[in-house]
Amino acid sequence: MHHPARFAAPAVLVLALGIAACGGDDPGPRKVASPSVLSKVPDATPDVEETPTDQPSDQPSDQPSDQPSDQPTDEGDATTLVDYFAAEGIGQTALGPDDDGPVIDLPQPEGWSPSDDYSAEAPYGALVYDAATEPTDPPRVLALLVRIEGEADPGKILELAPGELEQLEHFTPNGPGTPSTLGAYDAVQVSGSYSNGGHELVIAQKTVVIPDGDDLYVLQLNAYAFPEEADQLAVALRAIDASTTIQV
């Protein structure tokens, strides 16, 4: 099967969205855009069409508006990390392997290699499958580590982490987010399929909370593959689950 070069995978969750929006080649920690001002990332999330209205633009409507409010959502109403971080004024600083913070030792599964091609989405590193049917769009595992700036509840992060992916248009989850661990730290994982414009991807995501004294870090692993290479991705993810170590 032939796929167009580099079918852009949807950037999922506020962590991935923030980095994709910022990009850049600057060394060292990078501030992630505040969730309250994040905009849709081109080729990352599908555009949402506004519902047309028959109300004249200069006349108030007596119907409740479906448009997003500029006001932050209350924490109790949050369904995604975007909502929660906006409501609580929580920021993020993206970290690379050479920055101060937890040391994440991801194993390199057989047949996989490190790649710098995804440094904008995965400043902590990326692994790609060497024998991909589409070398320009290989199965990949992207690692994003951020330091949380502000008072955040680790349990709330785990509760809401699957929301952004589960609510993504064209995404069909295999099931609800499930509790997990990685390197002895609490995590939540979700997986499913994404279809848009005749293209399909298998997506798996694991979000890990890493407390360290007064600091809190979040590691997110986002994995993508075309359906015909889902088995290779699953083997790699099992190896990562079994052998990853995290040191604070």
Could you tell me if residue 5 is inside a domain? no
How much is the pLDDT for 219?
Answer: 97
Could you tell me if residue 23 is inside a domain? yes
- pLDDT beneath 70, residues of the chain: 1-78
Angle at 219 between CA 94 and CA 187, to 5 degrees: 155
How much is the pLDDT for 6?
Answer: 40
Could you tell me if residue 180 is inside a domain? yes
Could you tell me if residue 237 is inside a domain? yes
Domain count, the chain: 1
Q: pLDDT per residue over 143-194, tens digit each? A: 999 999 999 999 999 999 999 888 888 999 999 999 999 999 999 999 999 9
How much is the pLDDT for 128?
Answer: 98
| CATH number of the domain encompassing residue 128 | 3.40.1000.10
Residue 229 CA to residue 227 CA, distance in Å, equals 5
C-beta of residue 247 within 8 angstroms of C-beta of residue 103: yes
| Whole-structure pTM value | 0.73
Closest to 130 measured CA to CA, from 39, 236, 6, 17: 236
Percentage of residues of the chain with pLDDT beyond 70: 69
Closest to 11 measured CA to CA, from 205, 186, 197: 205
Structural domain range at position 168: 13-44+71-247
C-beta of residue 204 within 8 angstroms of C-beta of residue 223: yes
Could you tell me if residue 62 is inside a domain? no
Could you tell me if residue 168 is inside a domain? yes
How distant, in Å, are the alpha carbons of 54, 61, 62, 66 from that of 58? 12, 9, 13, 18
Could you tell me if residue 60 is inside a domain? no
How much is the pLDDT for 148?
Answer: 96
- CA 207, distance to chain mean position in Å, is 8
H or E element at residue 166: helix 163-166
Which residues does 38 contact at the CB level (< 8 Å), separation at least 6?
14, 17, 18, 21, 82
